Structure 1
Amino acid sequence: MMNGRTVKRYREGNITAAFGADLLLQGTTTIPNLLLRLYRHLDINDEEMILLIQLLRLQVEEKDLFPSASTLAACTAQDVTRVQQNLNRLIEKEVLAVTQYYDESKDQILSGFDFEPLLEKLSEIWASIRVKEIERTRSLLEKRPLETRAQDFALIIRAFEQEFGRPVSPMEVEQIRQWAEELDHTLVLEALRRAVLMGKHNFKYIDSIILEWKKNNLRTVEEINAYDAKFKKRRSGKHPPSKVDERKKALLKTLYLS
């Protein structure tokens, strides 16, 4: 052990393998892709971004909540003065803050850097970009020829009447119109198809399917199928209940029935 770290004994003549083993032992620092992609929108330059990455690493790896400028300088190509200047700028931009943390093991209050302002600003930038994407999508849909949109809507109405075996009511027509304005017509037809396969010939069930897709930002049939595949994989990975669990359930059932 060195400085609280686990160090593998070096085996002579196998430097590549030793490097690989040490690479695994040292762990990794997770940097959100959104941050890497959008940090320019936060008015963060490359030097400041490197500091943020090192601050994240030191918090996770070293449990150092408030590293000194000299510690950060040793991790970067910046000298102590430059590090301090960049830290001050990050705080002035309200990207980084200094706050108080409670150390339970030592029962004391410690100062430390806080990334909450960074995440708040990042979420605002993300939301702004998403709004623009939605507006762009709506604009493109509105530019489609009225005749084409009318044909799509008529296709959906016919599909519903065929599957339900009856004409749709005026209220149901308005519900379908709302779905068609929010989603591509192929997704409305896909939701109908899935409801029919489940024997659920009602609008409430179809609406629950569409709400689930909207909540998970699924915009195409391909994305929906990929989402379903991941969900099934997660479910199949869960262990079936043990015999002990089944016995407990049976015992509880007898208690409630007695």
Structure 2
Amino acid sequence: MKKEKMIEWFEQGSIAIPKLLLNNYSKLGLNESEFILIIHVHSYIESGNTFPTPHEIASKMTLPVNQCADLFRKLLQKGFMKIEDHESDGVRGERYSLQPLWEKILMLFLQETKDEDKETRRSLESKLYSIFESEFGRPLSPIEIETLSIWLDQENHDPVLIKAALRESVLSGKMNFRYIDRILFEWKRNGVTSVEKAQEFGQKVRQHQPSKLRQTQVKSGTFNWLDQE
């Protein structure tokens, strides 16, 4: 084979296949034939041919033309791609768009991320009671258990923030549920939704404290949330 021919093949370039698609096409309801056909359509679109025919696709697959045409119809019906009208240089025509596929991948990713977050939340919720008992050095009283339950189920405090508020109380040397409840109340009232925002909020509040009190709190690394009352 001539060297020039080999170089010509390599110069045809490559195509990027989204890893999310490669790893999750079966979860989207695609089989291998549909997946490979989509990759070929994507390749044609990237090369400037936005409306490849079943004949063109079949020439690159082991499937006959009629099966490729059937796959095209199924993918359109299942909403993995669509046909759009477009105009180029004054000439109107049609083209394939894989935008529906990318949107399905994004929704799958967001759903899986949401599911992971829920699982993390459930895991931390189940550990919170033992975390509190460990920090307090004793079993929680029935009232404390009920309070913790209210924070989670009725007031919908993020378990991560509850744990962060517990840490604030430990650092401040004020190990009681009233103090922790006040921290959570102030955070919620001021739109604090993450540990990072809680830290930022604490810094802002400290800046508005009297200088002597602020110096004491900065040195100790703590803040008396009950002073907010």
- Letter of the 2:24 partner, please give it: L
Structure 1 residue 147 and structure 2 residue 130: aligned?
yes
Aligned to 1:98: 83
Q: Is the 8 A contact 1:157 1:173 kept in 2?
A: no
Aligned to 1:44: 30
Aligned to 2:52: 67
Identity score, percent: 18
Secondary structure (helix, strand or coil) at the match of 2:74 reads helix
Aligned to 2:213: none
Q: Any residues of structure 2 matched to 1:45-194 within 5 Å, and which?
A: 45-61=31-47, 63-103=48-88, 106-149=89-132, 151=135, 152=163, 153-159=165-171, 161=172, 172-175=183-186, 188=195, 192=199
Highest Rg: 1 or 2?
Answer: 2
TM-score by length of 2: 0.61
Aligned to 2:224: none
5+ residue gaps, structure 1: 1-8, 12-17, 163-167, 206-258
Pairwise CA distance, 1:142: 1.1
Q: Is the 8 A contact 1:91 1:97 kept in 2?
A: yes
Q: Distance in 2 between matches of 1:189 and 1:49?
A: 42
Q: In the superposition, relative to structure 1, how do residues 203 and 102 fare at CA in structure 2: closer, same or farther (>3 Å)? A: farther
Cα RMSD (Å) of the superposition? 3.7
Tell me the matched-pair count.
171
- Letter of the 2:42 partner, please give it: L
Secondary structure (helix, strand or coil) at the match of 1:27 reads coil
Q: Is the 8 A contact 2:169 2:180 kept in 1?
A: no
Bigger shift: residues 129-138 or 83-92: 129-138
| Structure with more contact order per residue of length (Cα contacts < 8 Å, sep ≥ 6) | 2
- Letter of the 2:117 partner, please give it: I
Deviation per residue, 1:176-212 (Å, 9 max, x gap): 589xx976xxxx38984xx6xxxx922699xxxxxxx
Q: In the superposition, relative to structure 1, how do residues 51 and 169 fare at CA in structure 2: closer, same or farther (>3 Å)? A: closer
Q: Distance in 2 between matches of 1:203 and 1:89?
A: 59
Q: Distance in 2 between matches of 1:144 and 1:128?
A: 24
5+ residue gaps, structure 2: 136-162, 174-178, 208-229
Pairwise CA distance, 1:45: 0.7
TM-score by length of 1: 0.55
Q: Is the 8 A contact 1:156 1:189 kept in 2?
A: no
